[in-house]
Amino acid sequence: MVQPLHYLKESPSQTAGPYVHIGTNPNWVEITGVWTADLGLVLVGPDTKGERIVIEGRVTDGAGAPVRDALIEIWQADAAGLHPSPEETRGAADPAFAGWGRQPVSDTDGTYRFETIRPGAVPMRDGRLQAPHITVWIVARGINLGLHTRLYFADEAAANARDPLLLRIPEPERRETLIAPRHEREGRAVFTFDIRLQGERETVFLDI
Amino acid sequence: MSGSYFQRDRDWHPPALTPTYKTSVLRSPRHALLSMPTTPSEETGPVFGHDILGPLDNDLIRNFGGDGEAIGQRIVVYGRVLDETGRPVPGALLEFWQANAGGRYRHKKEGYRAALDPNFGGCGRAITDAEGAYAFRTVKPGAYPWPNGVNDWRPAHIHFSVFGHAFAQRLVTQMYFEGDPMIWQCPIVKTIPDRAAIERLVAALDRNATIPMDSLAYKFDIVLRGRRSTPFENRMEGN
């Protein structure tokens, strides 16, 4: 017999189910008075450094129908590329930036929206620079284990062309599913990041 | 400083496509996941201070509806959050939600005929202490019918959402109750292929932790992903 390694196994995932919002956004489903505000609705304040941007999109299933009960979280670096986390080892992040946001999708059309800032670039462990990106995580009824993906910015073409993760995607047309097109609205950059769970132009999901 | 996170064992977790859980059929990717070592973007994550918690956030019997108490079997749920190396995870935010004693959720899309309890909202949260421990008080949820098969019922369960120290550790799961025969009939439970993995989600009745003449107790430990301890920059062989 060899000696056992004694690692524990990770608790297995289960779907968040259709009523995830009771636990994550109780005020949004009219369970009021338990806590004052749902977590994650606001990422930026008046003192946050960086360019204000809007992230929006729509979640659809393999039939192209909107997913009306999903929950989306984002996690990103501040404008200097630092994360507001005790695990950040490269310096102190902007104290006026939350870095984390959470929104339920619309229960009528599956759309979502975050107001945030454009993140700075974050290096890999080996020092290679990643293109600016936002980590996106999605759970819903019918999703057994939360899906990780990344949003990249269409107006960062040179950085995207060198990004180590994007370069790992063999099919160039699949890279496009992670690159959010840009347009302007009321003087602000708006990036559209549609999440297609399955089928035509299926979003690239990550095993990180 | 620590290294990258252990690879997730995706034969232990449920796969995306599990057709007897019907909703998974159109909500599961058809392409393979793209693998990538964790980077600082995944090795960091939000932290939540105890200042976000109200005094009743971990007391579902009393945190909704005013002065009354929820109807049902009073229970304490407690446990620890550890990582795969066995170390406690302090400062982890846990959010939980559940149906009431009759199996009815307080949600606008819910149509089950079992009655709402005017004193039960069904949500709570807690942050683990320095030893990774958490506890909350609630009523045991009832079983709940759902439109999957023509006669499918969920076993009694409490949903958990867990934030560790890194976004790579983000986890949503469900806790079941020791001895419930419906665990082994449920298409959502059975999305998990390995019986030993399912058993990790079944909380044990703990008579030593019950509060006499007040509440039964169930112990539910949660394990999040672990990480390598020694990074050597470009040489990742250190464990």
Task: Collect all residues with Cβ–Cβ distance below 8 Å to A157 and sequence separation of at least 6.
Answer: none
Q: What distance in Å separates residue A176's CA from the closest CA in chain B?
A: 14
Residue B238: pLDDT band with limits 50, 70, 90: very low
Residue B234: pLDDT band with limits 50, 70, 90: low
Q: How many whole angstroms separate alpha carbon B66 and alpha carbon B195?
A: 42
- With a pLDDT cut of 90, the percent of chain B lying above it is 90
Please give the ipTM for the structure prediction: 0.96
A133 touches chain B (CB under 8 A): yes
Choice between B142 and B65, residue whose per-residue pLDDT is larger: B142
Is B21 an annotated catalytic residue?
A: no
Q: Which of A99, A122, A146 sits opposite B46 (nearest CB)?
A: A99
Residues from chain A contacting residue B122 (CB–CB below 8 Å): 22-23, 31
- Encode burial over A162-175: b for 16+ CB neighbours within 10 A, e otherwise: ebbbbeebeeeebb
pLDDT for residue A179: 98
CB contact under 8 A, B96 and A145: no
Instruction: Please determine, for residue A157, whether its predicted confidence score (pLDDT) is greater than 50.
Output: yes
Active-site residue, from B137, B157, B165, B227: B157
CB contact under 8 A, A144 and B13: yes
Residues from chain B contacting residue A99 (CB–CB below 8 Å): 46
Q: Which of B18, B30, B107 sits opposite A29 (nearest CB)?
A: B107
CB contact under 8 A, A35 and B125: yes
What is the amino acid identity at position B138?
T
Q: Which of B70, B26, B235, B101 shows the shortest CA–CA distance to A65? A: B26
What is the amino acid identity at position A5?
L
Q: pLDDT averaged over chain B?
A: 94
Residue in A closest to B97 by C-alpha = A23
Residue B239: pLDDT band with limits 50, 70, 90: very low
Q: How many whole angstroms separate alpha carbon A128 and alpha carbon A42?
A: 31
CB contact under 8 A, A85 and B44: yes
Is B62 an annotated catalytic residue?
A: no
A73: its two tokens: 């979280």
CB contact under 8 A, B122 and A22: yes
- Dump pLDDT digits (tens) for A87-139: 999 999 999 999 999 999 999 999 999 999 999 999 998 889 999 999 999 99
